[in-house]
């Protein structure tokens, strides 16, 4: 299947949204709470989503579009094309003035991710991948970290849910055990961009317990196309539906990482 038309459309819209994120960064914007005060949405998230959805609808009127700020139901669609849009991943960073956020747009066909773009507007880095064609950073082929073969050599990254009701799930992880097993552990605050960093070898392994399909759709394909491995937290195939848990890595440390998370 030829994916370049999808990637080009997604990258152009991600850059357009990214321009808005960069222009509004550090300024005044309206904020609202979603599930609780730590779960924020800003007028910038909504504006970016509006632009991306309108742009996709114009070019692909038959496709289903699942956008974080406009869709309650995040299910998988077994037939045809479905876009998963996170217009601003890293809203908390954005609100607090930390320039680590991205736009994430993934495309599934028949329930399988076939194309994805993650765009970092602060560094002008556009990560893209299409099924079977490799992963790219600004057009240059990238691969996962080929050097760290053992968990103890790996730099790991994780994230914490914005919705406090999911914090209970953190109890199943022994953070002390994880820290003893690896070089160090980061939490950078934008899941899609963290996955892109796994894909280009800057980080070795990532996990997070409660995410949404738009957080992981594009990034999981980036990791796989860069030669890495992606599973759920039990080592099974990642299921996009609902509230996926994810483990992504350079592949070499994956089994060890699953073991330490179990």
> Site residues (CB under 5 A) for Ca ion?
68, 86, 88-89, 215
Range in contact with ligand IPD (rule: CB under 6 A) among 5-13, 83-91, 138-146, 237-245: 83-91
Minimum distance between the CB of residue 107 and ligand IPD, rounded to whole angstroms? Answer: 18
Q: Which listed option, Ca ion, ligand IPD, none, makes contact with residue 161 (CB within 5 to 8 Å by class)?
A: ligand IPD
Q: Give the dihedral sign, CA 55/57/63/69.
A: positive
Rounded Cα distance, 226 and 134, in Å? 6
DSSP 3-state assignment of 47?
Answer: helix
Among 49, 69, 89, 120, binds ligand IPD (CB under 6 A): 89
86 binds ligand IPD (CB under 6 A): yes
Total residues binding ligand IPD (CB under 6 A): 15
3-class SS string, 56-98: HHHHCCCCEEEECCCCCCCCCCCCCEEEEEEEEECHHHHHHCC
Which is nearer to ligand IPD, 81 or 84 (by Cβ)?
Answer: 84
209 binds ligand IPD (CB under 6 A): no
In this structure, are residues 100 and 108 in contact, taking their beta carbons and an 8 Å threshold? Answer: no
In this structure, are residues 113 and 220 in contact, taking their beta carbons and an 8 Å threshold? Answer: yes
Rounded Cα distance, 10 and 88, in Å? 14
Q: Which listed option, ligand IPD, Ca ion, none, makes contact with residue 154 (CB within 5 to 8 Å by class)?
A: none
Minimum distance between the CB of residue 212 and ligand IPD, rounded to whole angstroms? Answer: 7
Q: What is the CA radius of gyration of the chain?
A: 17
Range in contact with ligand IPD (rule: CB under 6 A) among 2-10, 154-162, 175-183, 237-245: 154-162
Minimum distance between the CB of residue 17 and ligand IPD, rounded to whole angstroms? Answer: 13
Range in contact with ligand IPD (rule: CB under 6 A) among 22-30, 133-141, 184-192, 227-235: 184-192
Side-chain-side CA neighbours of residue 229 (13 Å): 16
Please list every residue from 10 through 69 that binds ligand IPD, using CB under 6 A: none
Q: Which listed option, ligand IPD, Ca ion, none, makes contact with residue 190 (CB within 5 to 8 Å by class)?
A: ligand IPD
Minimum distance between the CB of residue 208 and ligand IPD, rounded to whole angstroms? Answer: 6
Helix axes 213-225, 191-199, angle to 10 degrees: 0
Which is nearer to ligand IPD, 49 or 145 (by Cβ)?
Answer: 49
Burial class (CB in 10 A: 0-12, 13-18, 19+), 96: exposed
Residues that bind ligand IPD (CB under 6 A): 86, 89-92, 159-162, 189-191, 208, 211, 215
């Amino acid at each position: 299947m030829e994916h370049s038309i999808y990637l080009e459309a997604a990258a152009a819209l991600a850059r357009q949204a990214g321009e808005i994120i960069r222009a509004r960064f550090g300024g005044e914007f309206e904020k609202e709470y979603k599930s609780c005060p730590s779960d924020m949405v800003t007028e910038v998230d909504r504006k970016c989503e509006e632009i991306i959805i309108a742009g996709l609808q114009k070019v692909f009127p038959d496709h289903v579009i699942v956008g974080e700020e406009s869709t309650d139901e995040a299910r998988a669609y077994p037939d045809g094309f479905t876009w998963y849009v996170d217009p601003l991943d890293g809203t908390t960073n954005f609100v607090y003035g930390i320039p680590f956020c991205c736009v994430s747009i993934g495309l599934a066909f028949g329930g399988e991710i076939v194309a994805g773009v993650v765009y970092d507007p602060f560094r002008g880095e556009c990560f893209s991948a299409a099924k079977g064609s490799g992963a790219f950073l600004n057009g240059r082929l990238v691969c996962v970290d080929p050097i760290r073969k053992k968990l103890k050599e790996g730099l790991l990254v994780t994230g914490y849910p914005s919705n406090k009701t999911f914090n209970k799930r953190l109890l199943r992880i022994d953070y002390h055990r994880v820290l003893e097993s690896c070089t160090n552990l980061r939490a950078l605050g934008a899941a899609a961009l963290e996955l892109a960093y796994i894909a280009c070898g800057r980080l070795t392994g990532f996990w997070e317990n409660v995410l949404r399909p738009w957080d992981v759709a594009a990034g999981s394909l980036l990791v796989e196309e860069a030669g890495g491995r992606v599973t759920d937290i039990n080592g099974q195939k990642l299921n996009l539906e609902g509230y996926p848990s994810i483990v992504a890595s350079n592949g070499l440390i994956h089994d060890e990482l699953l073991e330490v998370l179990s």
